[in-house]
Structures are given as C-alpha cells and as structure tokens.
Amino acid sequence: MIGLWNDDEAGAFCARYAPEHGEALALRVYTSRLLGRDPSLVLHGGGNTSVKLVRRDLLGRDVEVLCVKGSGSDLASVEPAGLPAVRLQPLRELRQLPALDDRQMVSAVRGALLDSAAPNPSVEALLHAFLPHTFVDHTHADAILVLTDQPDPARHVYGAFGDDVVLLPWIMPGFPLAKAVADAFERAPRCRGIVLAKHGLFTFGATARESYERTIELVERARRYVHTELGGQPSMLAGEPPPPPPEQRRALLARVLPCLRGALATAVETPFGRDFQRVVADARTADDLAAFAQHEMARPLCTSNPITPDHVLRTKGHYLWLSRTEAVDAQVVHRELAVYESHYRRYYDACAASLGAPMDTPKPVVIVVEGLGPIAFAATPKAARIAADIAEHTLRVKAAAHALGDYVPLDDHELARMEYWPLERAKLGAATSPPPLQGQIALVTGAAGAIGCGVVEALLAAGAAVFASDVDAARLAVVGERFAAAKDRLATGVADLTDADAVQAMFDDCVRRFGGVDCVVPNAGIAYASPLESMDAARFEHTFAVNSTATMLVLRAAAPVFRAQRTGGSVVVQASKNVFAPGKGFGAYSASKAAALQLMRIAALELCELGVHCNAVNADAVFGDDEVPSLLWQEVGEERMRTRGLDAAGLRAYYRDRSLLKVPVLPRHVGEAVVFFAARRTPTTGAVLPVDGGLPEAFPR
C-alpha cells in the first residue's frame, strides 16, 4: 500500500478551505478523503476522522473544539460541514463517569455542539475526544481485519506490529470503547496505533499527514505479514479450482438474475391491487470472486458473520450460497430462501428480540452463486452497489483470514446488538415514501429520439432503473449526458433491433446490469414518406423491420424474463395517430405501426398469465428540442413545411392548434403515460392511451 499524500493536492485543499476554516481543518478534509478514496480502508460511510482546533464562540472566547466526522457523512466526499465542531472540554470531563448510556452520550455530545443545527457527530466522538492527539483516524482496513478475525488475534497482530500497536478485544462502540482506547494509549504512550479486534484500526498524530501516513504504514505492514505467512499466495483461498471462462459467467448470470430477483420480490397489497416490492441487482464476477464461489469452503464462509459488524446494516450477517443448478431453478431458490428466512427469524428471536426493535426483513441481501461470485439485491441500484462493494471485500478478507488460520467473526449476540443498535440504524436515515417505480427496471428502445428521451426522463423521475437503447451511439450518448445525475439508475446500450441476436444481447445486458426487466417500452421507429404508386419496396420492408418486426423481437425476448421473474410487469408499445387516422404518403409508417399495435394486443392475450399488462401510447406531433429532436420530424418536417407553406415554428403551431385542447404535446407527456401503465394503478391491458391533444379522427375505436 502506497500513501497518496501529495503536496500539490494538499496545497489546493488549503487554498480552497483554509481562508474560511483554517489550515488544520483543510488538511483534515484532505486526508479524510485520501482514506475514503481507498475501499480497502473504508467503505461507504465507514470509518471516522477528527481534528482538535480552537474556535471562537458567540461571546468571542477562544474554545478548544473537536471537529469529528458527522454520522452519515462519507470520508470519500466529506466537506468541512461534515466535520461538526464540538466543545472539547465538556466531552473530556465525561471520562470520569463510571458509566454513560447511549441516550445520555448522544445528548451530551449534541449539547456540546458549537452549532446546534450541525449533523450528529460520530458515535465514536468521545473516543476521539479522550485521545490527546490533534489528529485521529479510524479505518476498517481489510488487512487489519484479516489479522483480527482469528481464534488468536494477538498472535498475528503482535507478529505483524510488535509493540508498535496495542490490541483491544471487541468492545461495542460508545462510552466503554472510548474509555478503553484512552486507557490503552496511556498504558502504551509510544504506540503508533490501536487495533480493535473484529473492528479496525485507530492511528493518531500531531499533523494530518503523520496520522494518515501511520495508517498507511500499519496497514501495509499487516498486508506484508499476511502475504509472507501465506507464502505469497493471492488473497483468495489456496487451491481453488479455476473459475468458469468469462463468457460462461456472463451467460449464466443472464439466466440466474431474473430467477433470483423474482424470488426476492415481496408481494404486497396496494390500493390498486396486488403488486410487488422489487429489488435490483449488482453482480461481481471477477476471476478471484468466481473462484471463491465454487470452492468447497465457499458455503461455510458465506454463512458466517461479517468481517466487521459495521457491515451488517448493508448486507445482513449471512450471505446465501447457491449452486449453479439451484440458482436457475425457481422452486429450489424459493425453498432455499425459506430456509434462510427461517434461520434469520431464529437469530432475531434468540439475539435481537429483547433489544426492542422490530425485525428487519428476513430476506438475504447478498447471494453468492457457485462459479459467479456475490450478487447484492436492494431497492435501488445505489444500495445494491454499496452492498456489492462490501460483499466483494468481505469474501476476499474471509478467504485470506481462513488461509491465514481460521476465520472467526463476532458471535450472533454481539452482531445483533450492532444490527439493532439505534445509533447504528440512524446511519440509514429516516424512512421516506419511495417513488412509485422504485425497484422497477425499464428497458426503452429508440431512447435517443425525442419520445424515447421523454420516456427515459419520466421513468427516472418515478424512481425506475432504466436501460436505454438506440441504434445511434452518438445520439444515445447525448441522452446519457442529459441524465448524468441519475447515472446509478441509467445504463445505455447500442443495438440494431432488426437483428434478433442484438435484441437478445440487449436484454441480457439489461439483466446483467440491473437484474431483470419489469417495464418494456418498444419505442424505436422510423418514418418513410412515399405514395404507394412510387413506393420503394426495400424501404417499405426496412420500415416494417424497424417498426413492426423489431417490436416482435423485443416482445419475444421479454417474455422469458417475465416468466423467470413471475412478478408481472408491463409492456407499453409506442403506437401513432397514423394507426387510427393514416395520412396520404404515409403508408409504410402507418401500416407498420398498425402491425406493432396488433402485436401489443396479442401480447396482452398471451402474457396475461404472467400478470403482464400490455398497452400502447398513441402519440402525435411530438417535436422534441434542439438537443434531442424527433427523428420522424427530421425526416418529414421539410416536406410538411413546403406543403403547408410554413416555417418550423409555424408547423409546430399548426399541429398544436389542430387538436381539441390546443396544447403542444411534449416528450415528457408520453413518458408520463408510460409511467401510468408501469405503475399498474388500474387493471388495464390491451388498451390504447392517446397523448395527442385530442384528435377526433384518431380516437381509438
């Protein structure tokens, strides 16, 4: 491990933050981010840092304060406001107490805040306060956990560090741990760090750089010790069989994910009928993880407790391990999930019920599939990614710890105390009402056009994860950039929908990215204007291939995913006003769109047994904007303007004013219609919803 301190970067942080906050806090922010950017040290909000400073209070007095990471902040992106200032003297005085419960501790720490509106300081604020050092760093470094998740952690910790560190046994965070760490340092004031068994490492120093570089030094010493003890072997289990080839893994993943995801969905009764709370997936299939997943020790290690209890909120204590054949058999998956849930309920009753908190969902968060690796499931892609990141590090640490000696984690009772500890659960934030499509995965074709972009926008706003596809890579990139703020929930893929293999590959990519498909929007279409008398047969066939045959191929590829998930879903075909009111010179477009609509009706008849609602949106005169214009109007707009003697603005006004409502139809309007169907708030299938401002001649009949 190489330290990342850089004088130029440190100077830039000082230039940015020191004028308002002082150099010490500026450098504290810098080194906090150095720690946070290394996932082998901390993951997703883990760890904490502090600095002791002098600040002026409201009366103009200089007071010593502790700026400590606020609960819920992430070291990787922390700002000065994420290190709230707490008066130091009142905190230090608490050390003389024989005991202090959590409620009293939180009240005392909050009462010492310089700014009462600041976020809650870390639950380990007293630990930082009781240590005398100006800078204190706390990490959950992988290499340290390998040493301490052992039957005899002292053997390995002192073998790696000698008397440069003090080792403490596991102690629940809070007042007792704060006192124990302070006492340990006072017994060994020359130590360079304090190791907490099954938890992590504290380092300290007079400067931000000294404290940070002590962390790096000690973690590197731990890493070298493990490397030497294992004879230079990689961190995964020794003697593992080689993993399946990458293409085999990719193919298996596309089969496994819909089955697992469907089994993990929870049936719920809503005011609109029965539906499902769905989850999305994040799979990790690197070579070493895939090798781990098929090793004979994979199952017992997966079903052991976490490498540090801090991870339990994100991943639960145990992972579920499934063989390849089990993972693609829905009946077996449901059976294994029932066994897992029964085990979790017994764990809760035995270890957590007395704590007074209601039981969390008993379903697993991480499933490890033989020959693939860990797959995390959560309500949002971000939550799934966090859990998958933790699972990836967990498997590597467990493998190394097992190879070093014998992996021994925290016991169930201590784990339950952490899992149901109110101060730990507070890190998840207050529960809020989820958006209507949270957990749903939508696949939108023709996403680089005006309507497709509007559909993507509305689905993202409703909370869905979206796989956006188009044949035009450059235009699709523009759509991706437009919704960059939702990058966790948006993936894009280029596909020629007239190619059956490309359509199947598109679905497989969507499944591998998010776990499945719930809402399919066949939206891709092209326009070809020509009177029948002079129509080019090849262009007619191509129009049918894109507008109709491609719709069939999309529906054909969607059906097996719906069948594997068994959680219903929706299909929303993009029809056209021309289906009901065709215009002269638009025979190829009108006929091909009519065929697509008829395919929707057939899908409604055939997919109803799977609970899939199939409907269509009948849009008209959707122009888009300069960045994402309508391809149809780019094709036929010039001819329409010449025919009617209008310019571009006049053409838009013409189509607006010919409708009953005299309003422009925007891409987002079409998207909202798709969201209406995807939300399944009415028992509707086989229907057509006009989004055209009102055209009597195009009323569906």
Point out which residues pair with 202 in neighbouring strands. Answer: 138, 194
Task: Report the C-alpha gap between 128 and 138 in whole angstroms.
Answer: 9
Report the SS3 class of residue 12.
Answer: helix
How many residues make up the chain in this entry? 701
Contact 453, 669 (CB under 8 A): no
Contact 450, 669 (CB under 8 A): no
Please list the alpha-helical segments (H only) found in 230-323: 246-264, 287-293, 298-302, 312-315
State the CB neighbour count (10 A cutoff) for residue 148.
Answer: 27
Task: Report the C-alpha gap between 552 and 56 in whole angstroms.
Answer: 70
CA angle 669, 674, 679 (to 5 degrees): 125
Please list the alpha-helical segments (H only) found in 608-698: 631-644, 648-657, 667-678
Contact 486, 635 (CB under 8 A): no
Residue 347 appears among annotated catalytic residues: no
State the CB neighbour count (10 A cutoff) for residue 412.
Answer: 18
Task: Report the C-alpha gap between 145 and 147 in whole angstroms.
Answer: 5
Core vs surface per residue 414-451: b (16+ CB within 10 A) or e: bbbbbbbbebbeebeeeeeeebbbbbbbbbbbbbbbbb
Q: Give the contacts of 496 (CB within 8 A, at least 6 positions apart).
A: 471, 502
Catalytic residue among 158, 589, 654, 655: 589
Core vs surface per residue 281-303: b (16+ CB within 10 A) or e: bbbbbbbbbbbbbbbebbbebbe
Strands 320-322 and 280-283: unpaired
Task: Report the C-alpha gap between 187 and 475 in whole angstroms.
Answer: 66
C-alpha closest to that of 389 among 407, 374, 368? 374
Strands 441-444 and 373-378: unpaired
Which run of H or E residues covers position 273? strand 273-277
Sole residue written with tokens 């899939």: 612
Task: Report the C-alpha gap between 545 and 561 in whole angstroms.
Answer: 23
Task: Report the C-alpha gap between 513 and 488 in whole angstroms.
Answer: 11
Report the SS3 class of residue 64.
Answer: strand
C-alpha closest to that of 155 among 429, 426, 401, 502? 401
Q: CB-based burial of residue 215 (10 Å sphere; 0-12 exposed, 13-18 middle, 19+ buried)? A: buried
Task: Report the C-alpha gap between 235 and 146 in whole angstroms.
Answer: 10
Q: What is the full DSSP assignment across 179-243?
A: HHHHHHHHH-TT-SEEEETTTEEEEEESSHHHHHHHHHHHHHHHHHHHHHHTTT--SS-TTPPPP
Contact 25, 67 (CB under 8 A): yes
Amino acid symbol at 364: P
Amino acid symbol at 252: L
Residues with a known catalytic role: 589
